[in-house]
Amino acid sequence: MATLQNSPSLHRTLVLNSFTKLHNKQSNSQCCRRSMSFLVRAEQAPSSSTCSPSQDRSGRRQVLAAGTIVSWASLINQHSVSFAAENKKNFQLVSDKKDGYEFVYPFGWQEVTIEGQDKVFKDVIEPLETASVTLFPTVKQDIKEFGSPQEVAETLIKKVLAPPTQKTKLIEATEHEIDGKTYYTFEFMAKAPNYTRHALSTISVGNGKFYTLTTGSNERRWEKMKDKLHTIVDSFKLFKVYE
């Protein structure tokens, strides 16, 4: 594994002890819309004869039935669109055009300033429910150059994402791509004397920077919050910054 922990920039992040201050990351439910198409075929009557009354009534019943089905499908589609829009209302998008990243956070969280963090949003009632972004310069071009998801996750958890006095546990570390760029996402727990924080992080490299987004909650609220927290990390995306 590359010497991630020996990076001067990373050591500068460590001494900021920002996560100590933060303590005093399934996926966003997506509304899937099914498009339904209906083909109503009209049979051409023989040119040599006219339709009988029974044929006429049958044709009208078919038209009415088709119209009812189309109206029903339209209502379902409208409900799906409305439901999707409602889901989006539960989150707000933050896009940092200077540093080249974006993500969403739950509506109602407040932005706060924490030394060493590029951006921090937190719940005003639950202090462990936060979403924060850190970044530092790197000459690496891809997150894979630092090592495997497990190796990088272990290093960050022990050296950066939790105070050294806390007992940590890596639960899972995975790799995925968005628009050809590699991201590592991992789940971990950090145990303090009076609470346990259950957290998610996603990391990537781009624009000459190493990006880390971390979110989490108190373990006692994990089941209630985990879908929202997964939505946050799943939304994290880098984009090219042109100077």
Is 73 within the bounds of a domain? no
Is 9 within the bounds of a domain? yes
Is 223 within the bounds of a domain? yes
Is 43 within the bounds of a domain? no
Residue 62: per-residue pLDDT: 57
What does pLDDT average to over the chain?
77
Is 207 within the bounds of a domain? yes
Is 65 within the bounds of a domain? no
Q: Residue 134: give the domain boundaries.
A: 4-29+91-238
This prediction has a pTM of 0.67
CATH code for position 211: 3.40.1000.10
- DSSP characters over the chain: ---GGG-HHHHHHHHHTHHHHHH---PPP--PPPP-----PPPPPPTTS---HHHHHHHHHHHHHHHHHHHHHHHHHHHHHHHHHHHHHTEEEEEETTTTEEEEEETT-EEE--TT-SEEEE-SS-TT-EEEEEEEE-S-SSGGGG--HHHHHHHHIIIIIS-TTSEEEEEEEEEEEETTEEEEEEEEEEE-SS-EEEEEEEEEEETTEEEEEEEEEEGGGHHHHHHHHHHHHHH-EE-----
Is 142 within the bounds of a domain? yes
Is 49 within the bounds of a domain? no
Residue 229: per-residue pLDDT: 98
Domain count, the chain: 1
Q: Model confidence over 26-81: pLDDT tens digits?
A: 333 333 333 333 333 333 434 444 455 555 555 555 544 445 444 444 444 444 43
